[in-house]
Structure 1
Amino acid sequence: MRIRSSRAFAVLVCLAVASCGRGSATPPPPPPPDVVKPTPRPVPSPTEARVQLGQKLFANLCALCHGPDGRGYVADNAPSLVSESFLASASDAFLRTGIVEGRPGTAMGAYGRARGGPLSDGDVDAVIAFLRAGKPEPMPAAATATAGDATRGKATYTSTCKECHGDPAARGKAPYLANPVFLASASDAFLRHAIVNGRADTEMKPFGATLDAQAIDDVIAYVRTWAPEPAAPVSSQPPPVAAGKVVLNPDGKAPNFTLKEDRFVAAADVKAALDQKRRLIIVDARTPADWQRGHIPGAISAPYYDLALLDVVPDDGTWVLAYCACPHHASGIVVDELRKRGFEHTAVIDEGINFWHNQGYPMEGADVDAGH
Structure 2
Amino acid sequence: MPRGSLVHATACGLGPARILARHLAALLLGASASSLAAACAIPADRDRAEDVDRDAAIASRARRATQGAELYGRYCALCHGRDARGYAADHAPSLVSETFLATATNAFLARSVREGRPGTAMGAYGRAHGGPLGNDEVDAIIDFLRWPGPSWAAMPDAPVVGDPERGEVVYNEMCQPCHGTKASRGQAVHLANPGLLRAATDAFLREAIVHGRPGTPMMPFAGRLDDRDIDNVVALLRSWASASAPPAWPAEIPQDMPLVIHPEGPTPRFTLRMDRFVSAAQVKEALEAKSRIVILDARTPAEWLNLRIPGSVPAPYHDFSRLDGLENDGTWVVAYCACPHHASGIVVDELRRRGFSRTAVLDEGILRWKQLGYPVEERAPVEESR
Q: State if a TM-score over 0.5 links the two structures.
A: yes
Map of 2:93 onto structure 1: 79
Q: How does 1:14-53 map onto structure 2 within 5 Å?
A: 45-53=59-67
What is the letter of the counterpart of residue 280 of structure 1? Answer: I
What is the letter of the counterpart of residue 96 of structure 1? Answer: A
Map of 2:299 onto structure 1: 286
Which of residues 147, 153, 166 is equivalent to 1:152? 166
Which of residues 331, 337, 348 is equivalent to 1:318? 331
CA displacement at 1:231 relative to structure 2:
3.6
Asked if 2 retains the 8 angstrom alpha-carbon contact of 1:75 and 1:329, the reply is: yes
CA displacement at 1:237 relative to structure 2:
4.6
Asked if 2 retains the 8 angstrom alpha-carbon contact of 1:234 and 1:289, the reply is: no
> Aligned equivalents of 2:226 and 2:79: distance in 1?
34
> Aligned equivalents of 1:80 and 1:284: distance in 2?
25
| Per-residue CA distance 1:132-185 (angstroms, 9 max, x = gap) | 113321111312211111110011000000011001233111111111111011
Map of 2:244 onto structure 1: 229
Which of residues 272, 282, 285 is equivalent to 1:269? 282
Asked if 2 retains the 8 angstrom alpha-carbon contact of 1:294 and 1:364, the reply is: yes
Asked if 2 retains the 8 angstrom alpha-carbon contact of 1:294 and 1:368, the reply is: no
CA displacement at 1:229 relative to structure 2:
2.9
2:152 is equivalent to residue 108 of structure 1 = no
Q: TM-score, structure 2 length as denominator?
A: 0.82
Asked if 1 retains the 8 angstrom alpha-carbon contact of 2:99 and 2:211, the reply is: yes
2:220 is equivalent to residue 240 of structure 1 = no
Asked if 1 retains the 8 angstrom alpha-carbon contact of 2:61 and 2:147, the reply is: no
Which of residues 327, 338, 345 is equivalent to 2:340? 327
| Per-residue CA distance 1:276-297 (angstroms, 9 max, x = gap) | 1111100000001100001000
> Aligned equivalents of 2:212 and 2:150: distance in 1?
16
Map of 1:189 onto structure 2: 203
CA RMSD of aligned residues (A): 1.7
> Aligned equivalents of 1:212 and 1:123: distance in 2?
41
> Aligned equivalents of 2:252 and 2:214: distance in 1?
38
In structure 1, the residue corresponding to 2:171 is in which secondary structure?
A: helix
CA displacement at 1:252 relative to structure 2:
1.1
Identity %: 53
Q: Which has the larger radius of gyration?
A: 1
Q: How many matched pairs?
A: 328
CA displacement at 1:308 relative to structure 2:
1.4
CA displacement at 1:48 relative to structure 2:
1.0
CA displacement at 1:224 relative to structure 2:
1.9
| Per-residue CA distance 1:279-322 (angstroms, 9 max, x = gap) | 11000000011000010000000110000111122211000000
Map of 2:319 onto structure 1: 306
2:270 is equivalent to residue 257 of structure 1 = yes
In structure 1, the residue corresponding to 2:335 is in which secondary structure?
A: strand
What is the letter of the counterpart of residue 350 of structure 2? Answer: E
Asked if 2 retains the 8 angstrom alpha-carbon contact of 1:234 and 1:292, the reply is: no
> Aligned equivalents of 1:102 and 1:325: distance in 2?
13
Map of 2:72 onto structure 1: 58
Q: How does 1:112-127 map onto structure 2 within 5 Å?
A: 112-127=126-141
CA displacement at 1:368 relative to structure 2:
8.2
Deviates more, 1:86-95 or 1:42-51: 42-51
Asked if 2 retains the 8 angstrom alpha-carbon contact of 1:238 and 1:291, the reply is: no
> Aligned equivalents of 1:250 and 1:296: distance in 2?
17
Gap regions ≥5 residues in structure 1: 1-40
Asked if 2 retains the 8 angstrom alpha-carbon contact of 1:282 and 1:320, the reply is: yes
What is the letter of the counterpart of residue 263 of structure 2? Answer: P
CA displacement at 1:365 relative to structure 2:
3.6
In structure 2, the residue corresponding to 1:225 is in which secondary structure?
A: helix
Asked if 2 retains the 8 angstrom alpha-carbon contact of 1:117 and 1:288, the reply is: yes
In structure 1, the residue corresponding to 2:360 is in which secondary structure?
A: strand
Map of 1:364 onto structure 2: 377
Map of 1:5 onto structure 2: none
What is the letter of the counterpart of residue 368 of structure 2? Answer: F
Asked if 2 retains the 8 angstrom alpha-carbon contact of 1:231 and 1:367, the reply is: no
| Per-residue CA distance 1:334-362 (angstroms, 9 max, x = gap) | 00011111112000001101111111111
Deviates more, 1:129-138 or 1:291-300: 129-138
What is the letter of the counterpart of residue 290 of structure 2? Answer: K
CA displacement at 1:236 relative to structure 2:
4.4
Which of residues 202, 205, 211 is equivalent to 2:225? 211
2:66 is equivalent to residue 69 of structure 1 = no
In structure 1, the residue corresponding to 2:361 is in which secondary structure?
A: strand
What is the letter of the counterpart of residue 190 of structure 2? Answer: Y
Asked if 2 retains the 8 angstrom alpha-carbon contact of 1:241 and 1:300, the reply is: no
In structure 1, the residue corresponding to 2:334 is in which secondary structure?
A: strand
